[in-house]
Structure 1
Amino acid sequence: MELLTLDDRIRAVRHFNRLFTRRIGVLREGLLNSSYSLTEARIIFELGQRRDLTAADLGRELGLDAGYMSRILARLEQQELIERVRSEADGRQRILYLTSQGEAAFTLLDQRSREEVSELLNSLGEDEQLRLLKAMETVESILDRGLKYAEPFILRAPEPGDMGWVTYRHGVLYKQEYGWDESFEALVAEIVAGFINNYQPEYERCWIAEMNGEIVGSVFVVKSSETVAKLRLLLVEPRTRGLGLGSRLVEECIRFARRRGYQKLMLWTNDVLVDARHIYARAGFKLVEQEPHHSFGYDLIGETWELIL
């Protein structure tokens, strides 16, 4: 068999993608001749087939950004296709359910999907059908295995209780890893309280990272002035370090700051936080100031970093 170059392989995969997406109709304005987009239909399918799903569960399952997922769910709620019900097991969570209209939409989409796949299979002979199914099984097994080593976490907006987690985990981890005393936890609590009490959604954000249903990280962008924002409280749980989560959280902050028209993104850290400093440097931040100080029970060197957007 002729050895294919990387460019040849890329062209082959893209050719297959074009053929397959055209054949199954995902390029049409409405999936399955409905008024729903591919993403909307997939969410309806998931909620029609599974129970007790939260928005975070759906985001993990579908690999969707939390902000995008939130907008899609809001649209489906406006159409009275879904509803959110407080979980009896955990009052902080909202479980997603299809309404009666949503159930009707699911039934219609499910029937049309079955009819379309049946039409595709009936156009093939018995041997061709078996070859197709075997090939699909091979593709699925290879790609599913690869996805397990792709980005294993999701980023979402904060929910009730998350801010307490941010404060608690900062206090615990910085004590364990650097020996810092409770005054650091008090500082984090002040920052978190300030964010909650003075939150300006157009100019500020918090991202909570989840993996396998557990919180594993956080980061904040807060407004300093009309042109300057601050990156604060970057935290990554030790067991998830090395997966690119810290870099991803910082990238989200940078993207948000640019979209909001800030001219500069700044942060304050300490020279002992070596891993965090590497993340900032890779993201393009520059160290602009150093100043010795005694805080959290230690003599430290505080650092100011900035990124021109």
Structure 2
Amino acid sequence: MTVQDIRSFNRFYTNVIGALDYGRHLYAPYTLTESRVLYELAHSQGADAADLRTELSLDSGYLSRILNKFEQDGLVERAPSETDPRRRRITLTTRGRDAAGLLDERARETVGTLLATVPPADRPRLAEAMRTVRTILGDGRSPGPEDVVLREPGPGDLGWIVQRNAALYAAEYGWNTDYESLVARIVADFAGDHDPHLERVWIAELDGRPVGCVMCVRDDAPGTARLRLLLVEPDARGLGIGDRLVGACVDFARGVGYRELVLWTNDVLSAARRLYQRHGFVLVSEKPHRSFGADLVGQDWRRDLHGGHE
């Protein structure tokens, strides 16, 4: 391979993307760099200027001008960092999240248009080729926490939640189709009727594929949210994905005004229970039961959202 080979491929791919965006103004009314900043803010649990500068390799002055513009336009808010008072935490406002969502939707449509031209039989080969390029040009490093993105679900993701929960719990714990039926009802209820301001689903994505999920939905008790269907794929464990998903759920529930966050789990899920404990959940009750073809001990956990860890 020569330098010319890489330059030729770069021109080819640039032309492909440019053709897809012809007349669509994918990033309008923002520049490409501004869109990248919005994307990072939309997929982080609170970042500061130093984080963004490092992640996007931007000049500090240029980034400062972008953030000032965003603040003037009502897209971001700045507040003191909870861990370092010398830093300012930057978060998207509702208007900023809407803008980021619109850009993300346009990008998905654009890539979807490109993917639609690829025969289904060729898509696995294309995905593997892209992973090979990333691995070789990325010094062959293994994926790290920084490669994981938390995003809202797209078409097909809710079905993926049902399928992966059923397959994973059958493989790891021997649970039968009763569990798949339960998960399908939970997901169908969310898909059919949910309040986007008070309920949310997160998908953890790594190398373009979903590797984790969690849901935050309203509970029957007033002022209470419920964490549901936390899952991390086995080959993506060890990257802090579960920690980020639970943290996102806690932060969201607190941010929209819930007083407490509850969840139900089973004692055999020891890794998940340790994760809940780290995020301040307290075990309030447990009871043996026979479900999903197994003898289990169900547990109810609670997290007070007004105070610190209990």
The alignment's TM-score, normalised by the length of structure 2, stands at 0.59
- Structure 1 CA distance for aligned equivalents of residues 169 and 196 of structure 2: 29
What does residue 254 of structure 1 align with?
A: 250
> SS of 1:300's equivalent?
strand
**By how many angstroms is 1:89 displaced?**
2.8
Distance change >3 Å, CA 186–CA 70, structure 1 → 2: same
What does residue 235 of structure 1 align with?
A: 231
- Structure 1 CA distance for aligned equivalents of residues 161 and 107 of structure 2: 31
Could you say what the CA RMSD is over the residues aligned between the two structures, in angstroms? 3.7
**By how many angstroms is 1:190 displaced?**
0.6
What does residue 151 of structure 1 align with?
A: 146
Q: Does 1:276 align with 2:272?
A: yes
Distance change >3 Å, CA 214–CA 272, structure 1 → 2: same
The alignment's TM-score, normalised by the length of structure 1, stands at 0.59
> SS of 1:174's equivalent?
helix
Unpaired segments ≥5 residues, structure 1: 1-12, 38-63, 92-143
- Structure 1 CA distance for aligned equivalents of residues 166 and 222 of structure 2: 31
**By how many angstroms is 1:36 displaced?**
8.0
Among candidates 257, 275, 285, match of residue 281 of structure 2: 285
- Structure 1 CA distance for aligned equivalents of residues 245 and 190 of structure 2: 18
Among candidates 266, 280, 301, match of residue 305 of structure 1: 301
Among candidates 99, 113, 128, match of residue 71 of structure 1: 99
Contact 2:175/2:294, CA 8 A, preserved across alignment: yes
Among candidates 65, 76, 79, match of residue 28 of structure 1: 65
- Structure 2 CA distance for aligned equivalents of residues 36 and 264 of structure 1: 32
Distance change >3 Å, CA 87–CA 267, structure 1 → 2: same
Tell me the amino acid that sits aligned with residue 21 of structure 1. S
Distance change >3 Å, CA 298–CA 202, structure 1 → 2: same
Q: Does 1:87 align with 2:113?
A: yes
Unpaired segments ≥5 residues, structure 2: 1-49, 72-90, 118-138, 306-310
- Structure 1 CA distance for aligned equivalents of residues 271 and 291 of structure 2: 20
- Structure 2 CA distance for aligned equivalents of residues 83 and 290 of structure 1: 43
What does residue 205 of structure 1 align with?
A: 200
> SS of 1:160's equivalent?
coil
Q: Does 1:182 align with 2:208?
A: no
Tell me the amino acid that sits aligned with residue 250 of structure 2. I
- Structure 1 CA distance for aligned equivalents of residues 235 and 186 of structure 2: 25
**By how many angstroms is 1:71 displaced?**
2.4
Tell me the amino acid that sits aligned with residue 168 of structure 2. L
> SS of 1:28's equivalent?
helix
- Structure 1 CA distance for aligned equivalents of residues 192 and 216 of structure 2: 15
Tell me the amino acid that sits aligned with residue 60 of structure 2. T
- Structure 1 CA distance for aligned equivalents of residues 166 and 228 of structure 2: 15
Identity of aligned residues (%): 43
Deviations 1:111-132 (A, max 9, x none): xxxxxxxxxxxxxxxxxxxxxx
Within a 5 Å distance, the mapping from 1:34-73 to structure 2 comes to 71-72=99-100
Distance change >3 Å, CA 227–CA 90, structure 1 → 2: farther
- Structure 2 CA distance for aligned equivalents of residues 242 and 210 of structure 1: 14
> SS of 2:273's equivalent?
helix
Among candidates 261, 266, 277, match of residue 262 of structure 2: 266
Distance change >3 Å, CA 288–CA 210, structure 1 → 2: same
The number of equivalent residue pairs is 208
- Structure 2 CA distance for aligned equivalents of residues 82 and 180 of structure 1: 38
**By how many angstroms is 1:251 displaced?**
0.2
- Structure 2 CA distance for aligned equivalents of residues 272 and 196 of structure 1: 29
Tell me the amino acid that sits aligned with residue 237 of structure 2. R
Within a 5 Å distance, the mapping from 1:92-171 to structure 2 comes to 149-171=144-166
**By how many angstroms is 1:146 displaced?**
9.8
- Structure 2 CA distance for aligned equivalents of residues 29 and 90 of structure 1: 35
- Structure 2 CA distance for aligned equivalents of residues 146 and 177 of structure 1: 28
Tell me the amino acid that sits aligned with residue 282 of structure 2. K
Distance change >3 Å, CA 218–CA 75, structure 1 → 2: closer
Distance change >3 Å, CA 83–CA 160, structure 1 → 2: closer
> SS of 1:290's equivalent?
strand
Tell me the amino acid that sits aligned with residue 300 of structure 1. L
